[in-house]
Structure 1
Amino acid sequence: MEEFATERLIIRRFRAGDGEDLHDYLSQEEVVRFEPYGVYDEASSKTEAVRRADDPAFWAVCLKDSGKLIGNLYFQQQDPPQFQTWMLGYVFNGRYQGCGYAVEACRKLLTYGFGTLGIRRVTAFCNPDNHRSWHLLERLKLRREGHFLQTGYFKHDEYGNPRWHNTYAYGVLGSEWMEAHQAETAE
């Protein structure tokens, strides 16, 4: 099983027993506000943990000292495969946001993707209203490549009308990532 360690984190595959910790953050409205789903109840969280244990796109992010699951990364190859493009996503427990855990976890997974898997390009998308998300992507040195208006909707207002959202598109090439990473380690 693939597992990565950083200074403070373990990044590993999901386990069927991760439902309680998954519920701890998927039950927070502020955490799922920009996600294509609503809050999860305990039963749904347990079911989702089992599903993610069989889905190689999801990575559990856990505190190294306690093993507590505090968030997840999504890292999936996009079609067509010959384009060697992967999509990055992330969701973190609100009680652990603002501590640098997401940057630490994403950096480790991106370095693995570009260095070991030989990925050519990584993309990420977020709602412009989700300031924490696009600040994270910019801290990771992804480039904002587009601002698209009313690209879709996940949720509805109290009258049943779609709540259209805008999207920022980000990307980085493997060559850019590796060059920037080498420059960081040389300092």
Structure 2
Amino acid sequence: MNRPNQIETKRLILRPLNQDDFEVLSDIIKDDEVLNNLEFVLKIKPIKNIKSLFLTVIDSLNSKNSILVLIVINKEDGNRIGSCGLKVLKDYNGAECFYTLLPKYRGFGFAIEAMKKLIEYGFRELKLARIITFIQPTNSRSWKVAERIGMKYLGHKQIRNISSKAMYFSIEKTEFEAQWDY
């Protein structure tokens, strides 16, 4: 997957994950709210599995099936405040997006700002036709972000080997272009 050197918004810098980001990614994933929502999809708990996930992503960066993981940096203080990214899904003719922030940075519009720019990158640079996301129904913050960036709720969907169903959101390139002047 084509990776940007850096993507900027008014308040944020989004840059590719690197070896130095394990600690911040670990802090994000260890947060109880994040862990509960990631556990729904990834079943991650012990720190060794976080390290394994991190190394898998780092190893995949140069492969055809890579996952684009960007670290979200607050321009104001230079702190790494979260992550977001895309994973190509051939079954859906597009990519799945994901996003998370450290607790003290939630509620300030950072996720919306980062995701709008990430989705723009996906459509413009990666030439994706569709971007989707699967969200745990109890994760109201995430599904509100999905709605605010123009994604449509398409119902609940069974994903992977998880017993419960996830909320399924999607946005087509043409829908994004109609909503956002980019």
Deviation at 1:40, TM superposition (A): 5.0
**Which residue does 2:148 correspond to in 1?**
139
**Which residue does 1:111 correspond to in 2?**
120
Give the structure-1-normalised TM-score.
0.79
Is the 8 Å Cα contact of residues 44 and 50 (structure 2) preserved in structure 1?
A: no
Distance between the aligned counterparts of 1:117 and 1:51, measured in 2? 22
Distance between the aligned counterparts of 2:138 and 2:126, measured in 1? 32
Large movers: runs of 4+ above 6 Å:
none
Amino acid at match of 1:61: V
**Which residue does 2:107 correspond to in 1?**
98
**Which residue does 2:88 correspond to in 1?**
77
**Which residue does 1:53 correspond to in 2?**
58
| Secondary structure at 1:33 match in 2 | helix
Structure 2 gaps, min length 5? none
Distance between the aligned counterparts of 1:40 and 1:95, measured in 2? 23
Over the residues paired in the alignment, what is the CA RMSD in angstroms? Answer: 2.4
Point out the structure with max Rg over C-alpha.
1
Is the 8 Å Cα contact of residues 85 and 118 (structure 2) preserved in structure 1?
A: no
Distance between the aligned counterparts of 1:16 and 1:149, measured in 2? 33
Shifted more, 135-144 versus 66-75: the winner is 66-75
Equivalent residue pairs, number: 170
Is the 8 Å Cα contact of residues 88 and 124 (structure 1) preserved in structure 2?
A: yes
* Residues 156-177 of structure 1: per-residue CA shift (max 9 Å, x gap): xxxxxxxx42311111110110
Is the 8 Å Cα contact of residues 26 and 40 (structure 1) preserved in structure 2?
A: no
For residues 71 and 49 of structure 1, do their structure 2 counterparts lie closer, same or farther at Cα, with a shift above 3 Å needed?
A: same
Deviation at 1:105, TM superposition (A): 0.6
**Which residue does 1:62 correspond to in 2?**
73
Is the 8 Å Cα contact of residues 15 and 52 (structure 1) preserved in structure 2?
A: no
| Secondary structure at 2:22 match in 1 | helix
Structure 1 or 2: more strand by fraction: 1
Shifted more, 90-99 versus 47-56: the winner is 47-56
Structure 1 gaps, min length 5? 154-163
